[in-house]
Amino acid sequence: MKKAFIPIAIIGLALSIASVFHKSTGEHGAGSASGTSAANNQSGFYRGVLVDAGMVTPAAIKEWTTHHQSIVLFITPTNIQSSVIAAQTILESAGSVEYFFEIARDPELAQRFPEWMASLQGHPEWMRFYPGFQQADDNHVTKNFPWVPIFYQEAFDAHLARLKDALEILPEPRRVWLNDIQGAPSACGCGHTLCRWTADYGPKTTARFIGNSAPALFTSAVAGLVPESEVIPILSGECEESDIDGPCAGVGCFKGICWKALTQQLDPLSESSPIIGLNNLYQALERNLERYGPPGSWAQFSIQSFHSMPPLRGGRGIPPQRIISLLQGFDVPQEAVLTQISSVQASRAAGYLLALTPVEQSWKPVTIPYTPHP
């Protein structure tokens, strides 16, 4: 995978501007009814960078720590050994290290166990992106490659085992971030990358389905592996009402089950997790839209939606002070980085984690033989 990095000098400039903005708007912490999270730094606003092991050098660490950043390592099945070395280097230089695991999007697991992938059933509107793709017959099922969400018990167990093996050989982290602990893009079949409320929306199931408790159960299980570390789950929001004529292709997702199901997942998760991560990779999630303002402004809207939408769907909202926003620092211009940071500040959120290394969100359909789960 080709990686696009933002020069360290630009990150320093971004953080300097963010610091000035932060002081001018007043201090605000990440406290909640559940208590104050360890994610607070001395200024009360979390500022982190997500990096790959190959980016870690003494000069980079010095620059990052100069700006009071937390350094978060992206751990994948293929970079464990290099990550062990990088983590030890960060730990010795910065005093602490954090880890980021992509959960649902797992190409290796998808290839080994295709039956554990999410499916593309229900609405057929997703097919507009793949003209000529043949709808699966009764003996086959269309899966969403390479998304293997934790809503299936078999996938849940496999992901947990993967993290357990990695955490056993990595230095002890201050925090562990769990990205995409929910369903897959276009879960209902509309084609929208932000419709992620489930792994299946159809009759063909190929593994044991857990349900809406999966995100909370998985986060708690990972917390049991690292009892001295803070574990922060990261989810994406759902579609917007104005998406009906665009990404949702006429499907009534917004007023349908999407936000209702996400709310049912958020409620138990918010009880056990004082801080919730929110995936705001605006370019990767196709949220670079004029209605939000300058490129990168979507974060504020998204953060507010986690507070306002759940009560409208029978649940409890997550106040901005309990949200850390995952921002896109790869494949975007410097101005967009600054806009994203300012957007998070304006939302009164608990902070941000700026991804300098790519966090893939793409998907594609594949057809596999259908073997009904007993």
Give the dihedral sign, CA 292/296/300/302.
Answer: positive
Q: If you average pLDDT over residues 181-210, what whole number do you get?
A: 94
Query: Residue 2: pLDDT band by 50, 70, 90 thresholds?
Result: very low
Residue 29 sits at the vertex; the CA angle it makes with 26 and 34, to the nearest 5 degrees, is 150
Distance separating alpha carbons of residues 336 and 91, to the nearest angstrom: 30
Cβ pair 336, 10 in contact under 8 A = no
Asked if the model's pLDDT at residue 1 lies above 80, the reply is: no
- The Cα diameter of the chain in Å comes to 62
Cβ pair 177, 353 in contact under 8 A = yes
Q: Which of 40, 339, 304, 58 is nearest to 174 (CA)?
A: 40
For residue 334, the Cα-to-chain-centroid distance in whole angstroms is 22
Cβ pair 357, 55 in contact under 8 A = yes
Distances (CA, A) of 287 to 49, 192, 194, 235: 21, 11, 10, 15
At what angle are helices 298-312 and 334-347 packed, to 10 degrees? Answer: 40
Asked if the model's pLDDT at residue 68 lies above 80, the reply is: no
Q: Which helix (H) or strand (E) holds 267?
A: helix 258-272
Could you report how far apart the first and last alpha carbons of the chain are, in Å?
Answer: 38
pLDDT at 44: 84
Residues 21-64: pLDDT tens digits?
343 333 333 333 333 343 444 458 999 999 999 999 999 999 88
Asked if the model's pLDDT at residue 360 lies above 80, the reply is: yes
Distance separating alpha carbons of residues 180 and 149, to the nearest angstrom: 8
Q: Which of 207, 234, 98 is nearest to 153 (CA)?
A: 207
Interstrand relation of 175-179 and 276-280 (parallel, antiparallel or unpaired)? unpaired
Which domains does the chain show, CATH number per domain? 8-369 (3.20.20.70)
Distance separating alpha carbons of residues 329 and 327, to the nearest angstrom: 6
At a CB cut-off of 8 Å and minimum separation 6, what does 92 contact? none
Query: Residue 373: pLDDT band by 50, 70, 90 thresholds?
Result: confident
Residues 144-187: pLDDT tens digits?
999 999 999 999 999 999 999 999 999 999 999 999 999 999 98
Residues 89-125: pLDDT tens digits?
999 999 999 999 999 999 999 999 999 999 999 999 9
Asked if the model's pLDDT at residue 3 lies above 90, the reply is: no
Distance separating alpha carbons of residues 321 and 32, to the nearest angstrom: 7
Interstrand relation of 140-145 and 364-369 (parallel, antiparallel or unpaired)? antiparallel
Q: If you average pLDDT over residues 277-282, what whole number do you get?
A: 98
Query: Residue 83: pLDDT band by 50, 70, 90 thresholds?
Result: very high
Q: Which of 357, 358, 352 is nearest to 67 (CA)?
A: 352
- Residue keyed to tokens 């949200």: 323
